[in-house]
């Protein structure tokens, strides 16, 4: 393993001054170094979407991203989406619609779908299907996840 190199970035709106080897994966950096374990590790190969975070607001697979690649940029994880103890409208909808069963894919879905709703408050069904196509859920058959996203879209002004 190579030597640690300084790494400065913003995580959940807080400046972080840390250090990590060149090859440190962003997912490991978040989970192991920063103890932000809400971001999940499902496959390590970019196929399941459980590790989705935002980099400068854009959904990104943290298991395929080197930590040093996001140097100086802003990373948002599930922990930074809303103030602690508060839920966003989408998080509430996931709860009310039963869009989470085992819950392991949920943080990734929330990150992906929150970005979609932020940029397109009234997405079409095909748009939703395309965007969440990079996230794998083995429990719900996606039905209630789509319902939850559409419920938020309906309520948004």
Partner 1 sequence: MASPTPPSPTGPFRLLGHRIPYVEGPLKVTGRAEYTDDLRRPGMLVGKLLRSPWPHARLLSIDTRRARAMPGVVTVLTGERYPTPFGVLPITHDETAIAVGKARYIGDILAAVAAVDELTAERALTAIEFHIEPLPEYADPRVGAEPVAEPIHAPGLRGSNVQKEVVQHFGDVDAAFAQAAFTARVRCRFAGVTHAFTEPLVTLAEATPDGRLTVYSATQVPHYLHRTLSEVLHLPMHRIRVVKPEVGGGFGGKSDPLPHEIACAALSLETGRPVKMLLDREEIFYTNHGRHPTENVVRIAMDRDGHLLAYDIEALLEGGAWSSFGTVTTYYNGVLAMGPYRVPNFRYRGRRVYTNRPPSGAMRAHGGTNIRYSIEVALDELAEHAQLDPFDLRSRNALPPCSTTINQFRITSTSFLRCLDAARRASEWDTKFRCLPYGRGVGLGCGFYISGSNSPIHFTPVMPQSTVHLKIDMDGGITVHSMQADIGQGSNTLLAAIVAEVLGADLDRVHVQRVDSDVSPIDIGSYSSRVTFMMGNAARRAAEEIRARLVNAAAELLRRPPSELRVGHERIEVADQPQVAVSFLDALHKAMENSGALTASGSFSTQKLGGDFKGARAGTAPAYSFAAYVAQVRVDSETGMVTVEKVWAAFDCGRALNRLAVEGQIEGAIHMGLGQLLSETMNYRASRLMNPALLDYKILAPDQMPEVEVLLVGEDDPEGPFGAKEAGEGPLVATLPAVANAIYDAVGVRCRELPVTPDRLERLVRARRAEGYAWKEDR
Q: Which residues bind partner 1 (CB under 8 A)?
A: 1, 37-45, 47-48, 50, 77-79, 81-82, 87, 91, 94-98, 100-107, 110, 126, 128-130, 132-133, 136-146
For residues 53 and 30, the answer to whether their CB atoms sit within 8 Å is: yes
Q: What is the nearest approach in angstroms of partner 1 to the Cβ of residue 87?
A: 6
Of 2 and 157, nearer to partner 1 (C-beta) is: 2
- Reading the block at residue 93, the tokens are 């909808």
Cα–Cα distances in angstroms (integers) from residue 20 to residues 1, 14, 24, 76, in the given order? 10, 18, 6, 19
Of 30 and 72, nearer to partner 1 (C-beta) is: 30
What are the strands of the beta sheet with 74-76, ordered from one edge? 14-21, 4-11, 74-76, 52-55, 58-61
Cα(104)–Cα(99) distance, integer angstroms: 12
Closest of 137, 135, 131, 134 to residue 153, by C-alpha: 131
Of 65 and 100, nearer to partner 1 (C-beta) is: 100
Cα–Cα distances in angstroms (integers) from residue 143 to residues 40, 66, 90, 94, in the given order? 22, 33, 15, 11
């Amino acid at each position: 393993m190579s030597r640690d190199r300084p790494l400065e970035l913003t995580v959940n709106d807080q400046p972080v001054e840390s250090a990590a080897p060149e090859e440190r994966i962003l997912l490991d950096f978040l989970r192991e170094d920063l103890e932000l374990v809400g971001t999940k590790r499902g496959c390590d190969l970019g196929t399941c979407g459980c590790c989705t975070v935002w980099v400068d607001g854009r959904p990104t697979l943290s298991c395929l991203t080197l930590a040093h690649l996001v140097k100086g940029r802003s990373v948002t994880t599930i922990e930074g989406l809303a103030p602690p103890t508060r839920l966003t409208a989408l998080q509430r909808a996931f709860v009310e619609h039963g869009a989470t069963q085992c819950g392991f894919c949920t943080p990734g879905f929330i990150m992906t779908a929150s970005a979609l709703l932020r940029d397109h408050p009234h997405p079409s069904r095909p748009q939703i299907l395309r965007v969440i196509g990079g996230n794998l859920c083995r429990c719900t058959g996606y039905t209630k996840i789509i319902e939850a996203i559409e419920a938020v879209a309906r309520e948004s002004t």
